[in-house]
Structure formats: structure tokens, C-alpha cells
Amino acid sequence: MGYNDEYKKWLLSPSLSAEEKAELESIIHDPKEMEDRFFAPLSFGTAGLRGIMGVGLHRMNVHVIRHATQGFASLIRALGPEAMERGIVICFDCRRNSSLFAREAASVMAGNGVRVRIFDALRPTPELSFAIREYGAMAGINITASHNTKEYNGYKVYWEDGAQLPPEHAASVASEMAKIDIFTGIKLKDFDEALSEGLVEVIGEEIDQKFLENVMAHAIDTDCVKKAADGLRIVYTPFHGSGYRMVPEVLRRLGIKHLFPVPEQMELDGDFPTVESPNPEYTEGFHLAVELAHRENASLIIGTDPDADRIGVMVQKDGDFISISGNQLGVLLMDYMINAKRAAGTLPENAAILKSIVTTKMSDKIADMNGIYIEDTFTGFKFMAEKIKDFEATGEKQVIFSYEESYGYMIGDFVRDKDAVTASMLVAEMAASYHLKGMTLYDALQSLYEKYGYYCERTLNLVMPGFDGLKNMRRLMSSLRAQPPREIGGAEVLRITDYSDGTVLDVKSGAVLEARLRGSNVLYFELSDGTDFIVRPSGTEPKIKVYIMAKGQSVKDCEEKILRYEEYAKTLEG
């Protein structure tokens, strides 16, 4: 069915409200907008769905939510009565329509006889991951678009291990969705009726306390916090989102005395009125936090995104504040955890670290010099969770820390996804430890460069929205495979790893070897000057991500390399 026919189907459907029909009628003379909304469904994958809110097949709305949930319910039903009784946990964030979409998902699950536990209000993503495992649920749903701008919402899906959905189950849900009519194929049960019958249960405080207990169990050295508490001053912002309650609570339990939440950004608001983007990767969003930090003489700023799975940090340098990148915070935490646990006698003999293939190689150096096992996975914490499960089955390794460059950190294994709540606690503890040495986290980072070598990374986003953008993304990846560059930014390409088929091409000899991983749309170019240049389409947003990872003799040397490769990356936009 073409986009015109799909548009007409929606416009004529009795399932649409008067407001929804009016929205579609407003684009009747705009074929480009019509195509963008109806050229294809939002793609359902291991991360679920994510898209701009609005009426249409390629938008986030109640009909798309119901459709996806019907497909998900079919997967759970196929596993039998026990799986249906174990049921699903549903969570949501502060975005527009999030609570509505959560109730709609609950109504569809209940309509299919699947037991539902739904949070009484918004909660962080890591608490959902924890709750799935704590309740022994079969699956989970979180209505969130994480760090995306206010126009977006999303539908994150989880399995019984608390990790995002495995590829085979995601494929099964997508297959079911293809068989189900988006309007007539949905089984719905009234939410209040399901609640009164006990098929839907509202959860809250009891699981909050269990989650908090597990978070606090991962503190390593509370004594250093007590000693530093009088002098350590921290500003916190949740960017209007779900970290607003949990993060201040864990910092207070840790022993932080001087915590200054940003008042304007403690207000829950899915329009994110104080920032253009609620993404802690972007320094611009921290302007209110920086102002507050100056007023309160704080040395550290912590920010979490709307679903509190990502954390961003700003640190004091020469009287001002600078951002610490996701890679930099990762190596700081990794080095701190290894040494603090070793000093406390809590470092397992079989300790392991996990990171993604696009995360700094400084991690490998730290692991090597400290005698710690480290392993790469594909981007996405579901792959790290799978590796943890493998290690649990064999007892071979105990994972103490997992991270990726995109500001996501997983402490231990009680949560199986990014966890900004526990990470915030450990960042504060780490800051306290360095504070006692008269050092800021910026000073600490410089000391790590002196000890382990100089590394610098940059991630570029080549944004390609809409139907044309999707075609451009595919065209770019096909072109790079068909005619791979022999040099990038003046440096010779030595090896090319194509993670889609798991091949490694030695450019000079022409020999083709086998990579350890395969099955992801990633091209990895290793260059003659030690730089890695990686190209990967985002799995959740309409953009190509380019990762540049340099190693040099100094920070300046690394930064010069980064600038040179940035110029080449910009040519890929076409």
C-alpha cells in the first residue's frame, strides 16, 4: 500500500478522534508531509520504537502504541499461561502523552490476558529494568524517548532479564505487527475495569525502596564522602525528568551535605522549557546549572536525561566549568572503581569490564595496566547484558562496570541497562575521594592521561531526517562498502572491519580475516597514525554517527588529529 492509500485509510478510519482527523486534513495539500508520515511504519527493533509525535503510521500516537503492544502481547501469549501470569511491568517518563501511552499499552496487554504492573508515576529507566527482575516479570515497556527533543516519544521494550529485547523476539513482534491491522486487530480492555479485576496492578513506593537499597549497596567508600562532605558542593539537574527524586535521594543517602538541585529544571515538564534538548551530552543545557554552581561555589555539576539512564558531568577548571565527555567519565569511573574496590578488598579476582566497540581504547590500556579483563560488545546495553548472562552461567567473570561513549554506565549487574542513578552516586563518591586529595575531576583526568597515555575522541552526527534521509543513510553505507576509501584525512587505511558480515580486510595484502563480532551495520577503519574512524547508523534516531578515536603524544596532538578527521567526516554528508 502506497503512502496515499495509507493516508486515506487513516483519514476514513472510525478509530480516529475528531482532533486526529483534523490534523490529517490539515496536510491534505502537502504531499511531502503526507509521505513523511505514511511512507512506512516506524521500525520495531530491539530498542522498540521511537519517533516524532503526531497522527500517522510513521509517528508516535495511541494507534501505533496499541499496534506495537498487540504484537508484543502475542509474543508473551505464545509462551503460555505462566508467561502471561508473570506479565509485564510498564513505566513512563515526563514527556507529553507518556502517561496516556502507558495506560494504552496496559489496556492492550490486559485485553490479551497478560498481567500488568504499572508505576503510579514516572520513574527512571534503570528502575524498570530492576523491577522486571525483582518481580520475576516476563517483560517490560517504558514510554520514553530518552534524551531526544520534545517532539519525540518512544516505546522501549525489555525482556525477563531486565535488558532490552533480544533480536529474535524483536523480529517476532515485528512479524506479528505485520499481520495485525492497526485499527481492527487490537484487543483492548478498559483500564479501570482491568484495575478493579486485578489484571492491572499499580506499583510504587515498595519497589522504589528495594531499588534504592540496591543502588546504595554499590557505594564503595562512604568514609571518604563523610570526610569530604563539608567541603564538597554539587549541583544537580534532572532536565525536567524522572531523575528529580531518585538522584537527590541517593546522593543524600551517600552523605552529600551540600547538594543544590536546579529549581527551574526540577519541575516535571515534557516540553523541556529551559533547554533546546534535554540531552546531557550538550553543554548548552547546563547554563542554569552553571549559574547556580557559581553562586553556590560548587565544583561539580551532574545532569541526567529525562528517563535518567544517561548522565552528563561538568567540572571546574580555572574558575569555570567544562564538560567531561562520555568517554572521559567512563575512564575516570573505571580507574576509580578498580582502585577503590582493590583498596576496600571488594575487587573480585575474576573482575571484568565491558564496553562498546565505539568506546575509547584508553579503557583497554587501563584494564591492561591493572590486570583486569575487558571485552568489547556491539553498541547497546542489551549486548552487555547478554555477556553478563553468559558469565553468570559459567562463573567465568564477574562484571563490575559496563559503559559506552554515549554517556551510559552500568554499575555491577543488578540493573541490565544504562543507569544514571547509580552512576550519579559513584560520580559523587569519586569526586569526594579526589576532593580529599585537593583535586577536581578535571585534575583527576589529567593525571590519568599522564599515567595511561593521551587519548581523544569525537562523535559527529550526520542528521538525515525523513524518507529522503533514510535513503541517504542507506546510500552512504552502501557506497562506503562498494568503494571504501584508501586514505582518510591524509592517513592510510590499514584495515577495514565490516561488522555486518564480520569480515576484516587487510588493505595492503588483500587478506580477509574473521572478526570476533558480526551482525551490526558498522564500518570500522583503522588508520596508519593509530586513529580509528568508525561509521554507524543510529538505531534510534535519523542520523549517521561518525566516531573518531585518536591516540597521540599529547592532548594537542590528539586534538589536531580529531580536527583533521572531522573535516573528512563532513564530506560524507554529500
Looking at residue 154, its pLDDT comes to: 97
Residues in the chain: 574
Looking at residue 200, its pLDDT comes to: 98
Joined together, the cell numbers standing for residue 54 give 503526531
The 3 state secondary structure assigned to 499-554 is CCCCEEEECCCCCEEECCCCCCCCEEEEECCCCEEEEEECCCCCEEEEEEEEEECC
Looking at residue 540, its pLDDT comes to: 67
Residue appearing with cell numbers 570500522: 524
Examine the pLDDT at 349 and tell me if it is beyond 70. Answer: yes
Domain boundaries, the chain: 40-211, 232-324, 327-418, 454-571
160 residue type, one letter? E
Looking at residue 572, its pLDDT comes to: 87
Burial of 56 per CB tally in 10 Å (0-12, 13-18, 19+): buried
Residue 373's H or E segment, with its range, is: strand 373-377
Pairing of strands 88-92, 503-506: unpaired
| pTM for the predicted model, two decimal places | 0.94
Q: What is the mean pLDDT of the chain?
A: 95
The residues that are catalytic are 146
Looking at residue 120, its pLDDT comes to: 98
Residue 81's H or E segment, with its range, is: helix 81-86
Looking at residue 205, its pLDDT comes to: 96
Give the C-alpha separation, 202 to 121, whole Å: 9
31 residue type, one letter? P
Top CATH class, 40-211: alpha beta
- 454-571 has the same fold as 40-211: no
Q: In the 8-state DSSP scheme, what is residue 413?
A: S
Looking at residue 181, its pLDDT comes to: 96
Torsion of CA 358, 359, 360, 364, to 10 degrees: -110
User: Tens of pLDDT along 480-520?
Assistant: 999 999 999 889 999 999 999 999 999 999 999 999 999 99
Examine the pLDDT at 71 and tell me if it is beyond 80. Answer: yes
How confident is residue 470, by pLDDT bands cut at 50, 70 and 90? confident
- For 327-418, the fitting CATH number among 3.30.930.10, 3.40.120.10, 3.40.50.2000, 2.60.40.10 is 3.40.120.10
Give the C-alpha separation, 35 to 27, whole Å: 10
Mean pLDDT, range 332-347, rounded to an integer: 98
Examine the pLDDT at 574 and tell me if it is beyond 80. Answer: no
Give the C-alpha separation, 450 to 465, whole Å: 42
Instruction: Return the CATH architecture of domain 232-324.
Output: 3-Layer(aba) Sandwich (3.40)
Instruction: Return the CATH architecture of domain 454-571.
Output: 2-Layer Sandwich (3.30)
Looking at residue 466, its pLDDT comes to: 74
Burial of 556 per CB tally in 10 Å (0-12, 13-18, 19+): exposed
